[in-house]
Amino acid sequence: MIGRIWKDIQKINFFGKSLAILYRILYHVEKSISVISKKKGGFTMQMYDLVQKTRRQEALTDEQIQWIVNGFCHGEIPDYMMSAWMMAVCCQGLTDAETAALTLAMRDSGECLSMESVGGVTVDKHSTGGIGDKTTLLLAPIVAACGGFVPKMSGRGLGFTGGTIDKLESIPNFSTNLPMERFLEITKEIGCCVIAQSGNLVPADKKMYALRNLTATVDSIPLICSSIMSKKLALGADCILLDVKFGHGAFMKTPEDAQRLAEAMVEVGKRAGKQCRAVLTDMNAPLGANVGNALEVLEVIRILRGEVRNELSELSLALAAHMLSLSGKGSVEECMDMAKQALDSGNALRKFAGMIAAQGGDPTVTEHPELLPQSAAKYTAVSSKDGFIASIQSEEVGLACLELGAGRTANSSEIDYGAGVELHVFVGDAVKSGQPLFTVYGRTEALCKKAAERIFACMEITTEKPVKSPMLYQVIS
């Protein structure tokens, strides 16, 4: 049996490591084929049979997928059998219907929130993550200033991509751990509230994601889609905007892969009865000028105060317009005008200060950003020649900030909230020899210089001005 399976697997163009893992898993599965079974409606379902069906690209029923998720969550299906099934999904994929069934089964594995008490149409936004991505901190108060409601649960950063919660917690006394009742009250009162993921939302995802990390099954679009969308659906917002990023500093490296993921998530949202839209955005360079927790909050405050307008502010306005449009506030064009007015009038700044105060933080930070944490040392790098900035490898910038202490290498790692980098030039800018390119902030000058060397090496300066790609690449609805 295993020999026949192995010959089939060898035909799949997949990484050797993953194939070896799957072979070992299937060996243990075959040994325990008669161990795991459950009687339901006169039909005996065996996990081994379901692994075989997925491996052969035979669609599973909603009931079978629900049985897999429930069995795994309750400890009836051991890790190695679940690993075999997820590896089969990684190799062979799932249909749209199967992906939707998996997402809903994961959503229903724990609590689901109700947004009825907010008293209006709620809209959530998810970003697949990137270097310097601080759009939530801008678009939430912008949408709130236009009469929208943005209840947002976000995560902490792990690795080189910063977490929205870490950025907000750099604000003195800001609390992201609130009871659900208070979370909904602030959303109703202010129009926006951002808290850390907590409670018993989607426990299936926690178990499955931990196993995916160990079995080389993270990069599967159906599994990524179900992980993201199960949490979005459990939150209970009426509308969902998905910011799917691609490029050096994103999980999806190409527009094609980002489009596949975006289409899968929009399809799941539609099947779940939600207003859902996705935008594909470029993450080949850092988003905005600042990377690092307090530094990113500082940039947000400068934009809300009208002191800075850049690609970050333009993208945030576009995302806010789509969120307002999904909420029924008008066409995207009409909502863009509303968003710009909210930003230019200072109403969005007042909403941001109101959210900070409601969540226990010091709202005067919007007037005195020097209250934000600051690192003890800094170092500014300058250009060695004349030319144009052709590229900035955002992943390398993120890794340099990780070395500075702005990110985590483990969940228990402590963060230096003041650490990071401030870019003084961007892709397409002309530079002169000796002109400042960026400033690095950290605990010591030696640490700053080491990070600066890494960032300097990832900036390409050419004699010809590059052609810039649009930040917002495609809309999928």
Residues involved in catalysis: 126, 205, 212, 227, 231
Residue type, 167: K
Distance CA 287, CA 291 (A): 8
Distance CA 313, CA 230 (A): 29
Distance CA 154, CA 370 (A): 25
160 sits in which H/E element: none
Residue type, 179: P
Task: Report the SS3 class of residue 372.
Answer: coil
39 sits in which H/E element: strand 37-40
Half-sphere exposure of 289 toward its Cβ, with a 13 Å CA cutoff? 19
What count of residues does the chain have?
A: 477
Distance CA 187, CA 181 (A): 10
Task: Report the SS3 class of residue 417.
Answer: coil
- Residues 190, 358: contact at Cβ < 8 Å? yes
Q: Which two tokens mark 14?
A: 């997949």
Give the list of residues 6+ apart from residue 324 with CB closer than 8 angstroms, or none.
Answer: 123, 143, 146, 148, 330, 335, 338, 339
Task: Report the SS3 class of residue 353.
Answer: helix
Q: Which two tokens mark 189?
A: 């009162």
The residue behind tokens 């994961």 is: 106
Q: Which two tokens mark 255?
A: 């527009």
Sheet containing strand 123-127, edge to edge, reads 123-127, 239-246, 275-282, 472-476
In 3D space, the residue among 252, 308, 255 whose CA is nearest the CA of residue 472 turns out to be: 255
Cβ neighbourhood burial of 360 (10 Å; 0-12, 13-18, 19+): middle
